[in-house]
Amino acid sequence: MSEQAAVYVHDPVWRRVRDEAEAIARREPTLEDAIAERIASRLTDPALPATHIRNAFRDALDDKPDLADVFRVDMLAVFERDPACERLIEPLLYFKGFHAITSHRLAHSLWTRGRRDLALMIQSRTSAALQVDIHPAVPMGRGIFMDHATGVVIGATAKIGDNVSMLQGVTLGGTGKVGGDRHPKIGNGVLIGAGAKILGNIKVGDCSRVAAGSVVLKEVPERTTVAGVPAKVVGEAGCNQPATVMDQIV
């Protein structure tokens, strides 16, 4: 008998904990159920019971079944791009960047189906619980990675393509008290460094790279790197897929 097995046999408390954990796993038969349960536990509030969140996830998946595939692509993005992530279970249980993205996908589904008050409540709870504030109207592609995520703010008319990576403190905002279409449009494969601010209705081209701390006020061409305050083109992006390579050295 191995040492671990011996501990399991002779420690009734640990045996019970493991048995209960396995029972919980059996009650959550799919990954989508486990994700809904984890997000519900993080966002629940007296004004927003966990059962409401679970039910909203089921409705969202019924309305758009391919959302289940999107969850998996997002999890793999974390696993493949974050060197601190050594197991796929880690984003599911612990990483608030993944939790924030998943919460936003739920809020966006509600928003697009006309359930705007519940969408805004999900946004509000996500902001309070995870320190990430994304307007529910924002469409977001697949394979999004928010590393650390704290302080990310994304305005209502922003758009985000596929396979985008961003770090903490990123703002996709407006330039003042202007209505209408006023927020950035982020292309596919873009890497946005920590603390970068991209402001106004401008396009950040596919596979480009925004250096940490930059303030971007003008269009960013495809496959380039911009840096500085205000940001300027300082060279090529350095690779075909900056968001997956995650090389932030300018």
Q: Across the 250 residues of the chain, what is the mean pLDDT of every consecutive 10-residue run?
A: 59 89 80 94 95 96 96 98 96 97 98 98 97 98 97 98 98 91 97 98 98 98 97 92 89
Strand-pairing partners, residue 209, are 191, 225
The pLDDT value given to residue 18? 87
Residue 153: CB partners within 8 Å, gap ≥ 6? 133, 134, 170, 171, 172, 173
212/222 Cα distance (integer angstroms): 18
Amino acid at 69: D
The pLDDT value given to residue 130? 97
The pLDDT value given to residue 36? 96
The pLDDT value given to residue 28? 66
The pLDDT value given to residue 1? 46
What's 140's DSSP letter? B
Whole-model pTM above 0.85? yes
- Phi first, then psi, for residue 87 (nearest 5°) are -140, 145
